[in-house]
Amino acid sequence: MRMKDSLMKIAVKVHDVVALAKRFEVAPVEAWREVVEHVRESMVATLEQVMNAELELFLGQQPKGTNKRNGFTTRTYAIKGLGAVRVRVPRDRAGKFESKVVPASRQYDEATERDLALLHLAGLSTRMLSHVSGRVLGIKVSPQEVSNALKAIVPAAKKFLERPLAGRRWQYLYIDGTNFHVRRGTVALEPTLVVIGVDELGHKSVLSMVQGDKDSRGAWEMVFADLKERGLDSSAVLLGIMDGLPGLGTAFTEAFPRARVARCWVHKARNVFPRVPKRFQSEFKVGWDAVQYAESGDAARAALKAMKERWKGTADDAIACFERDIEALLVHYDFPREHWEALRTTNPIERVNKEFKRRSKAMDSMGADGLKALLAFTALRLEFGWSTTAINSNKLTHLQYRERLEERRTEAMRSLLN
């Protein structure tokens, strides 16, 4: 069997091309349809030519005379960029031939499968994708097929979540857990432990998203050990910003001996303000804000002293609760002033967790692998924006940073598209 030099060639007569060019001036939509139809016809011819070669190779490997061609069957197959096409798949008499070009088990190519998965992760529900698939792809895709499409990108998701962390020095770590409904036979709430790092340029990155059985000190010790195994330089970590989970601060400083612990002001307020009589809470908040937003650590301590004098005998329990974590609450004053706003609370990581929740709403519940794909996809989208913006929200313009920023933007986009 002699193969032609070119598998696919679009043949259009010269006068047809001229006529087509003229139609683009008056009816561009119809003209585009004609061009696409030429491409579709050429694609069909190419696929059928390759499948015929496939069958010839298959028959050549069989004992001579035991099997022969047996006509063809017509299949509808969706191809990214072209939609659904009708192709003739050759058959053999023994019924043993299976085409790898247009597999019997598939309705669409792998590129389309990845797009379905990405659209699902972007927020379209399985039901909505199934509804619009006939219009977009030319074939009807079931909700189960959309869910199954996630399997195509799970390996890439796991690779991102387990990527090496050497090469950048992470000075701040935001630490928090969030819950998702996960399906493992039955559906139950399961925590995902999230760590966001901030490098020396002030740029954030999702470093870890680990599914665990509970949000506990032991689980976090495992997360910290994994970060170091993946190359994170523990000597570069200077601060961990977290809530008040018992034992978490101790586990953090044991894993990162040079680091200090910062308590989130928002979480602490939830513990303190319920201890203040309701009729006094507005006035109490004025003093609270004077401490939180003071111009320096010394000014903050002076404001706290004034609070103690004002509320003595009225809100002693609230002040005592406040003072227990005061050093961890004021630690941000020991770092660059432009970072104070970002270091006061765990808001940066909570905003990320809210984005994870928003993305998962359309899915109701998902398997563990589907959750990994969702988290990785969402993190990559966030990384693209973070690559150009530091934690103080001022765009970096210094020339020495531009090349590194461009490399990170390119890397984030490449990961997202692939």
Stated length of the chain: 418
The predicted-structure confidence for 128-170, as pLDDT tens digits, reads as follows 777 777 766 667 777 777 767 766 667 777 788 888 999 899 9
Pair 372, 157: CB distance under 8 Å? yes
Question: Angle, nearest 10°, between helix axes 126-137 and 110-121?
Answer: 140
**Averaged pLDDT, 252-269:** 94
CA-nearest of 326, 342, 26 to 203 is 342
Q: What is the pLDDT of residue 153?
A: 67
Pair 356, 375: CB distance under 8 Å? yes
Instruction: Indicate whether 189 pLDDT > 70.
Output: yes
Q: What is the pLDDT of residue 2?
A: 46
Of 238-247, 340-349, 405-414, give the lowest mean pLDDT range.
Answer: 405-414
Measured in degrees and rounded to the nearest 5, phi and psi for residue 187 equal -105, 130
Pair 330, 300: CB distance under 8 Å? yes
State the distance between the two ends of the chain, measured CA to CA, in whole angstroms.
37
Pair 366, 184: CB distance under 8 Å? no
Query: Residue 36's pLDDT band (boundaries 50, 70, 90)?
Result: confident
Interior/surface letters 146-168, b for 16+ CB within 10 angstroms, e for the rest: bbebbebbbebbeebbeeebeeb
Could you give the CA distance from residue 19 to residue 21 in angstroms, rounded to a whole number? 5
Lateral strand order in the sheet of 204-211:
204-211, 186-199, 170-184, 239-242, 260-263
Query: Considering the chain, what percentage of its residues have pLDDT values greater than 90?
Result: 40
Query: Considering the chain, what percentage of its residues have pLDDT values greater than 70?
Result: 81
User: 55 CB contacts (<8 Å, ≥6 apart)?
Assistant: 69, 90, 92, 97, 99
The domains of the chain are located at: 1-106, 109-152, 168-417
Q: What is the pLDDT of residue 156?
A: 74
Instruction: Indicate whether 226 pLDDT > 80.
Output: yes
Pair 242, 175: CB distance under 8 Å? yes
Interior/surface letters 270-285, b for 16+ CB within 10 angstroms, e for the rest: ebbbeebeeeeeeebe
Measured in degrees and rounded to the nearest 5, phi and psi for residue 175 equal -130, 125
The predicted-structure confidence for 351-401, as pLDDT tens digits, reads as follows 777 777 776 665 555 677 777 777 777 777 777 667 667 776 544 334 334
Query: Residue 191's pLDDT band (boundaries 50, 70, 90)?
Result: confident
The predicted-structure confidence for 175-188, as pLDDT tens digits, reads as follows 988 887 777 778 77
Q: What is the pLDDT of residue 97?
A: 92
CA-to-CA separations, 195 to 41, 173, 191, 205, 290, in angstroms, rounded? 51, 6, 13, 9, 30
Query: Residue 1's pLDDT band (boundaries 50, 70, 90)?
Result: very low
DSSP 284-313: HHHHHHHHHT-SSHHHHHHHHHHHHHHHTT
Pair 244, 271: CB distance under 8 Å? yes
Whole-structure pTM value: 0.65
